[in-house]
Amino acid sequence: MNPRDLDIGNWQLGFAAALIVVNLALSASLRLGLTRSLLVASVRMVAQLLLVGFILDYIFALDHPLPVVLIGLVMAGLAGVAAANRTTRRFPGIYLDSVLCVFAASYVVTGAALLGIVNVEPWYRAQYAIPLLGMVLGNLLNGVSLALGRFMDGVARDRDLIESALALGATRWEAAHPLITASLHTGMVPPSTP
Amino acid sequence: MEVILSAQALRCSVEGRELWHGLGFSVRSAERWAIAGPSGSGKSLLLRTLAGLVTPQAGEIRFDGRPLTAWRLPECRARVVYVMQRPALPEGRVQAALAAPFALRVHRGKHYSDEVARGYLATVGIDGTFLEQDTDRLSGGEAQIVNVLRALLIAPRILLLDEPTAALDPARTACVEALVQAWLREADDRACLWVSHDGAQRARVSDHVLTLGAAA
């Protein structure tokens, strides 16, 4: 093990788990109705982290760009699907749009960070590329799902307004522009709020 | 007289039920049409199809001699204006709601004129302070007057009116009817299609009646 790497022991893991138990206790005592979903999420998280740990261990050892790019694709695809899944209203092609958008944005931003800012050598070192991509994807997932949700709710709520704009000769862009602006504002709230 | 809008062999079925098929008609300059038919006979759907808001399942619609498919839709919709039954107005003053369409690219070169708006309002006995009101304080009838006036101001060739007076009292109904007639009289290359449940109204606002769902 690299001497600069951190060693997290069982006690520390137990402490992390205790934080979830606090949440469970709060949910149960205040009857917030979150107990079940918290439990499911915790179990899922443990399983996911175990799986990710094994896969990353394997990829780190390979030291080759292809598996890093491939796992990045899988991560971006999952984030894109998850972003669309968080909205209650769907349109045909929403998953494709979401995945393409998350993929393009995350690869450009992570690529710029690896090559232009962090200057990792070689660029595909998994211990940098994958966590960076993960952070970018986390933000994207929030931004995309908030903006998309706001947009879809708005389209349903302002249906008559949008349609009357179209009926008066607006292009699709003009008719949806106020809503697109509002949706982007909503999507930008998490990163732009201090 | 010149044909402005024509439909040929239109077909429409909703959830397996055929509303109309082989539907065809021609609307010429200065003609006033009414569309009649029971609820669910697809009257709104027909107007929305004519305005290019719904794609016809079969058949062809031509505006100004060109099929709708050959038009850039905003260009066409700026001339064939569909007025919805429920007015949807932006927040703010009546004046801003009336001026808003002039900001669209398709209407560049045209300008909103308070004077023209006041002129229309004067024909139905409403004074100019109406323009200063907030759109969310308007009654249903007043909102519908704004809705119809907004369409008239961009000077379309054809107005497609979807039961604009269904929820209005007789006085406001007369206002809306008078506004549309005033707009029609201004030029002889205009026409309107008016969906109405009310036979007496159809007699007042139209010279030709298209009845849907008659065979069903």
The Cα–Cα gap between A125 and B130 comes to 68
List, in order, residues 6 or more apart from A72 with CB less than 8 Å away: A106, A107, A110, A129, A130, A133
The bridge status of strand B17-28 relative to strand B3-14 is antiparallel
pLDDT tens for A128-176 read 888 899 999 999 999 999 999 999 999 999 999 999 999 999 999 999 9
Per-position pLDDT tens, chain B of length 216: 789 999 999 998 888 888 888 899 999 999 999 999 998 889 999 999 999 999 999 999 999 999 999 999 999 999 999 999 999 999 999 999 999 999 999 999 999 999 999 999 998 889 999 999 999 999 999 999 999 999 999 999 999 999 999 888 999 999 999 999 999 999 999 999 999 999 999 999 999 999 997 544
Q: What is the DSSP string of B94-138?
A: HHHHHHGGGGSGGGTT----HHHHHHHHHHTT--GGGGGSBGGG-
pLDDT in tens, A32-47: 888 888 899 999 989 9
Q: For A162, which residue in chain B has the nearest alpha carbon? A: B88
User: Which of A158, A160, A166 shows the shortest C-beta gap to B77?
Assistant: A166
Contact B86 A171 (CB under 8 A): no
What average pLDDT is seen over chain A? 89
Cβ separation A169–B75 shorter than 8 A? yes
* Most B-contacting residue of A160, A161, A164, A177 (CB-CB within 10 A), to test interface: A164
Interface contact flag, A169 B150, Cβ < 8 Å: no
Q: A72 vs A53, A75, A79, A81, B144, CA distance in Å?
A: 15, 5, 10, 14, 54
Residues of A in contact with B107 (CB under 8 A): 169
d(CA A17, CA A30): 20
Residues B40/B206, Cβ–Cβ less than 8 Å: no
Cβ contact, residue pair B90, A171, below 8 Å: no
Predicted pLDDT of residue A93: 93
Top residue of B71, B106, B157, B159 to mutate, by most chain A CBs within 10 Å, is B106
Minimum distance, in Å, between the CA of residue A110 and any CA atom of chain B: 38
Question: B74, A160: Cβ pair inside 8 Å?
Answer: no
CA distance B209 to A17: 75
Contact B77 A167 (CB under 8 A): yes
The confidence score (pLDDT) of residue A192 equals 67
pLDDT in tens, A95-129: 999 999 999 999 999 999 999 898 888 888 888 88
Q: What is the DSSP string of A61-128?
A: HH--HHHHHHHHHHHHHHHHHHHHHT-SS--TTHHHHHHHHHHHHHHHHHHHIIIIIS--SSTT-HHH
pLDDT of residue A2: 57
Nearest-by-CA chain A residue for B150 = A168
**CB spacing of A164 vs B154 below 8 angstroms:** no
Residue A185 CB neighbour total at 10 angstroms: 13
Q: Do A167 and B81 touch (CB under 8 A)?
A: yes
Determine, for residues B88 and A167 on separate chains, whether the beta-carbon distance falls below 8 Å: no
Chain A to chain B Cβ contacts (< 8 Å):
56
The SS3 of residue B193 is: strand
Q: Which residues in chain B are closer than 8 Å to A171, comparing Cβ atoms? A: 74, 104-106
Nearest CA in chain B to A168: B78
The residues, ordered by sequence, that sit 6+ positions from A117 with a Cβ below 8 Å of its Cβ are none
Nearest to A169 among B78, B84, B88 (CB): B78
A3 band by pLDDT with thresholds 50, 70 and 90: low
Q: pLDDT tens-digit profile of A53-83? A: 888 888 888 888 998 899 999 999 999 999 9
Q: Which of A158, A160, A171 sits opposite B74 (nearest CB)?
A: A171
